Amino acid sequence: MNDIVRLALEEDIGPGDVTSAACVPETRMANGRFLAREPLILAGVDLLSEIYTLRGGVDELRTLKHAGDLCQDGDVIAEVRGRARTLLECERVALNFLQRLSGVATAARRYADAVAGTACRVLDTRKTTPGLRALEKQAAAAGGVMNHRMGLWDTILIKNNHIAAAGGVRQAIESARASGLPIEIEVRTRDELCEALSAGAQHLLLDNLTPAEAADWVREIDGRAKVELSGGITLENVRAYAEAGADFVSSGAITHSARAMDISFRLELA
């Protein structure tokens, strides 16, 4: 992750933190604490060591909470001691990562909790912030959901436009088998469903159904393939979809709509 962290630091600090340089003596030492300001699931804390290392290091960094931990308002997440200028120039980048990634982890935990007790697992998606996918998927996993494919290279997911380009459901599935990769296919009609099952599809994606419609389709599939539901899955309705009998539900909101959590940094002279 060094490249991502380096880019973030360069973006924020540029040629130098002029405010800290103007106000703070170069040799002054300070202590800092990262504090949760609301209940949250933590993620991104492992990046603190990378951030400080890239800026020349600090004397001490102690992480008191870890990825996936539940933090309450007032909990100390981490403590750091070093040059005051270093702590100040790294503050915003550190908080941006912690707040954003903890937001993803917190959203993920809410989805995971909402389907607890069912046989259904929640998946994340590729609807991530450009450049931050690996970090956001790590955060989603820390929150308790399963990572779906990382990108276009690791799993085959045949969607409607692939079916059109391939010439049909069966043609798409049979051509994809040569890759040796796991295959998932989206079906939108009962005819496509029958064709996919007859072609040996083992993982089906059903998109934009109501929970009642999904339950009807799942009954027809009758265990002949794994079923994933997507499209319009929200925190309010995810349990209804899970109870429809799906093996998986996927929601882009876990990453694309996660709220930055309230985390602060407090500095004191050493």
List, in sequence order, the alpha helices (H) in the chain.
Answer: 2-13, 18-23, 47-54, 84-114, 133-143, 160-166, 169-176, 190-198, 211-221, 238-243, 253-256
User: What tokens appear for 171 in the block?
Assistant: 């043609």
186 is catalytic: yes
Burial, 103: exposed, middle or buried (Cβ in 10 Å; 0-12, 13-18, 19+)?
A: buried
By percentage, how much of the chain surpasses pLDDT 90? 99
Q: Which of 37, 65, 81, 92 is catalytic?
A: 92
* pLDDT tens figures, 83-138: 999 999 999 999 999 999 999 999 999 999 999 999 999 999 999 999 999 999 99
Q: Which of 65, 127, 170, 188 is catalytic?
A: 127
Predicted pLDDT at 2: 85
Rounding to the nearest 10 degrees, give the CA dihedral for residues 15, 102, 132, 2. 50
Q: Identify the DSSP state of 51.
A: H
| Catalytic residue flag (residue 159) | yes
Average of pLDDT values for 216-241? 96
Please name which of 139, 138, 143, 154 lies closest in space to residue 235, comparing C-alpha atoms.
Answer: 143
- Please give the pLDDT value at position 165: 95
64: closest CA among 53, 82, 77? 77
- Work out the pLDDT band at 57, boundaries 50, 70, 90: confident
Q: How far apart (Å, rounded) are the C-alpha atoms in residues 12 and 28?
A: 22
Please compute the mean of the pLDDT values over residues 229-253 and round it to a whole number: 97
Q: Using CA atoms of 230, 231, 236, 239 in order, give the dihedral in degrees to the nearest 10.
A: -20
What is the C-alpha separation between 225 and 217, in angstroms, rounded?
A: 12
For the sheet with 121-123, list strands across it: 121-123, 248-250, 226-230, 203-207, 183-187, 156-158
pLDDT averaged over every residue in the chain = 96
pTM above 0.85, yes or no: yes
- Give the strand pairing for 183-187 and 40-41: unpaired
CB 219, CB 239: distance < 8 Å = no
What integer pLDDT is reported at residue 1 of this predicted model? 63
CA 79, CA 51: separation in Å to the nearest integer?
14
- What pLDDT, on the 0 to 100 scale, is given for residue 28? 97
Catalytic status, residue 126 = no
For residue 242 the two structure tokens come to 């899970």
239 is a catalytic site residue: no
Using 50, 70 and 90 to split pLDDT, how confident is the model at 266? Answer: very high
How many CA atoms within 13 Å lie on the side-chain side of 91? 21
Q: Phi and psi of 77, rounded to 5°?
A: -85, -45
What would the 3-class secondary structure string for 70-112 be? EECCCCEEEEEEEEHHHHHHHHHHHHHHHHHHHHHHHHHHHHH
**In order of start, what are the domains of the chain with their CATH numbers?**
2-111+258-269 (3.90.1170.20), 117-256 (3.20.20.70)
Active-site position among 69, 136, 186, 228: 186
Measure the CA dihedral 215/219/223/226, to 10°. -30
Question: Catalytic: which of 46, 207, 216, 243?
Answer: 207
- Over residues 153-170, the pLDDT tens digits come to 999 999 999 999 999 999
Candidate list 81, 159, 188, 226, residue with the active-site label: 159
